[in-house]
Chain A
């Protein structure tokens, strides 16, 4: 853990020195791996939304057949 903190401290120092040339992206978020949590959440969200659209579609088909 201690090593992790010192590493991140060094990392931030390096980033600060490099700031003049490089652009800061979400590297820490990525390296901690948690971006995949967001990806999973959004994938579930959209899958749920599309499932909902399909279910509306199915119900409509049923009503259209009855008519």
Chain B
């Protein structure tokens, strides 16, 4: 599966469709947002890709604890490495969008703070790994950390902002995006974009994993 090409081609088609369609297909005319509503096709999929790739990571961490296979641990760590990239891309794109619609790049929205804390938590995972020399110990401890980090990340990004006031749609009593997208036109671009970016993130993760496996083999020969 990892070495097959069809899903990589599919990811290219979906993302390209979302880039072209996202710029050209009609969007609802709304005050404040204007054309920037199109950022929905580019900013939000970053977070979906991040969540799914972190989910992959936690699945492989659990798998590692059961199997003790080193490769399961390698998939877990490379998933986190990839997820962090998408987390930063999500934060950066969100800051640009917020600056022009909410008036400030960081308006202390609970969703922003939550996602920043979640990203720091995953950076701590990388630091934790770097601090343990013994391989099996490192894999085991970081797998357990990862299992705790995932639900906390979900709560920070998806649960807490919904309980308080938030500027994000669908949070803190705000209507969700479906309320703006009355003719459902945006869905036809949004869902392919989400799926496409999840596949791209998975692709990058598998590339990193394969490099890591090769590096491991090289290290063992010496």
Contacts and interface: CB of A to CB of B under 8 A. Distances in A.
B198 to A, nearest CB: 15
A63 interface: yes
Interface SS of chain A: helix, strand, loop or mixed?
A: helix
A67 interface: yes
B8 A60 contact: no
Interface of A: 22-26, 35, 38-39, 42-43, 46-47, 50, 53-54, 56-57, 60-61, 63-64, 67
B211 A50 contact: no
Contacts of A53: 8, 200, 203-204, 207
Interface size class of B (residues with CB under 8 A): 20 to 34
Contact of B210 (A39, A47, A54, A60): A60
B24 A39 contact: yes
Interface in B184-222: 200, 203-204, 207, 210-211, 214, 217
Contacts of A35: 23-24
B217 A67 contact: yes
B16 A64 contact: no
Contact of B29 (A23, A47, A54, A67): A23
Contacts of A57: 8, 203, 207
B19 A43 contact: yes
Contacts of B3: 61
B177 to A, nearest CB: 17
Nearest to A66: B214
Given A47-B16, A50-B16, 19 more contacts: A22-B29, A23-B30, A23-B34, A25-B35, A38-B23, A39-B19, A42-B23, A43-B19, A46-B12, A46-B19, A53-B203, A53-B204, A57-B8, A57-B207, A60-B210, A60-B211, A60-B214, A63-B214, A67-B214
A24 B34 contact: yes
Nearest to B42: A42
19 contacts: A25-B29, A25-B35, A26-B34, A35-B23, A35-B24, A39-B20, A39-B24, A42-B19, A43-B19, A46-B12, A46-B16, A47-B12, A50-B16, A53-B203, A57-B8, A60-B207, A60-B211, A61-B3, A64-B214
